[in-house]
Amino acid sequence: MRFPQIPYFDNSWDSVIIDALSPSNFSWVNRGCRYQMLLQAMIKSFNNKALSLPPNKNAILGTVIHKLYELTIKGELKSLADLKYKWEDLIDEKKLELAALYPTLRNASLNDYDKRNSAIRYSLGIIKKQGSAGTNSSKCKVLSEKWMDCSKIGLRGFADKLIIDNNYIDVVDFKSGHVIDENGGIKSEYCIQLQLYAVMCQFLSLGTPRNLSLVDIDGNYHSIPFSSPLSEQLKAEVLEAIKLLNNAITARDFQHHARPEPNTCPYCCYRHVCRFREISADEYYQTVSGIVIEIPSSNMYTLRNEKGYVYHISGIDVYDIDQPNIYLGKRLTFVNITRASREADEFTYKTTENTLVYEQL
């Protein structure tokens, strides 16, 4: 095998243009690291999913849960047995997808039976509701996982569920994580996302927004009112955000848009290509990049990073590399490695079942 190769992209920014954002990406631009959005656009331009790190387990399970709800809403799943079988089928599908994209990932454990049970309970509620007419009445049309391209106003993305009723439209967004913030209110970023989905529905003339709801993992609804003045304000802010990101690309001004934080960098899907990441030495999983300067054995690589620090990484022999010495002088990035032992210093690591290895060209 050979480690996945990440193209050298410092000279490729001219080909990257951001013309639209999803509602979730826009909310992240406002409150998080804009550089992450720029890296996402760059990696996407290479049209190779393996260049991005896999989403975290909860994000993958969120996708599975959304699919389960979608199939239930469509009437394709009609019983508890259907739901249980489909859950396992979707989990297996995601495992195979991970294995194909990430050859060094040896642990693709995804199942979470608490989340599964909560999702199945909610799906059974959908089935029961459909059995007594509910949103499947002749007056209503239900759209699930609806792709909406509103690039003319800088927005596009999938809506989890839309209910169209006599020219009115209800927007439903399913969330697998926490919906309520520390102050007891709905998280502001989720409120913004719902308003933007409503804006997209209006742009596509799907109906007049009536009700905007979040559904948490336990099936609880959390509703917010649609605000026309806020929607107009957000439309303007989306276009400004896109302009800001494209100006950063033109000026190659990335540092001012990076927000490295020890609480978020360890979980970023683009930390393997980020030059500004900050990961505390206390984190269990680390990300290390550097030039391979020595290969003491088939089980160890010695790397030197741009600051001159030297790292020793063992556990290489678990990978079926035809010619381990081929990486001498190459730049490698190891994601999700840990201290070699409790006594090891912060420069001595080992690979794990979750380790991902990339060659940076």
Whole-angstrom distance, CA of residue 225 vs CA of residue 171: 11
Predicted confidence (pLDDT) per residue in 296-327, tens digit: 998 999 999 999 999 999 999 999 888 888 99
pLDDT confidence of residue 342: 85
* Both structure tokens of 131: 């059995």
Residue 353 has pLDDT above 50, yes or no: yes
Predicted confidence (pLDDT) per residue in 42-79, tens digit: 999 999 999 999 988 888 898 899 899 889 988 999 99
pLDDT confidence of residue 27: 86
Q: 282: which residues sit within 8 A by CB, 6+ positions away?
A: none
Average pLDDT, the chain: 91
Mean pLDDT of 339-358: 92
Whole-angstrom distance, CA of residue 235 vs CA of residue 136: 32
Predicted confidence (pLDDT) per residue in 88-104, tens digit: 999 999 999 998 999 89
Amino acid at 322: D
Amino acid at 35: Y
* Both structure tokens of 245: 């990101």
Nearest-10 Cα torsion for 128, 131, 134, 136: 130
Identify the band that residue 135 occupies on the pLDDT scale cut at 50, 70 and 90.
very low
Beta bridge partners of 146: 159
* Both structure tokens of 111: 């199942």
Percent over 90 (pLDDT), the chain: 69
Identify the band that residue 136 occupies on the pLDDT scale cut at 50, 70 and 90.
very low
Predicted confidence (pLDDT) per residue in 267-286, tens digit: 999 999 999 999 998 899 99
Whole-angstrom distance, CA of residue 187 vs CA of residue 21: 20
The CA angle 40-41-47, to the nearest 5 degrees, is: 95
- Residue in this structure with the two tokens 């979470």, named with its chain if needed: 112
Nearest to 264 by CA among 43, 33, 34, 57: 33
**Is the separation of the CB atoms in 53 and 85 below 8 Å?**
no
Beta bridge partners of 304: 291, 310
Amino acid at 245: L
Mean pLDDT of 164-187: 89
Are β-strands 286-297 and 300-304 bridged in parallel, bridged antiparallel, or unpaired? antiparallel
The CA angle 16-17-23, to the nearest 5 degrees, is: 120
pLDDT confidence of residue 214: 93
**Is the separation of the CB atoms in 73 and 126 below 8 Å?**
yes
Mean pLDDT of 333-338: 96
* Both structure tokens of 126: 């959908």
pTM: 0.86
Beta bridge partners of 143: 162
CB atoms within 10 A of CB 335: 21
Candidate from 135-144, 167-176, 265-274 with smallest mean pLDDT:
135-144
Predicted confidence (pLDDT) per residue in 178-222, tens digit: 888 888 889 999 999 999 999 999 999 999 999 999 988 778 889
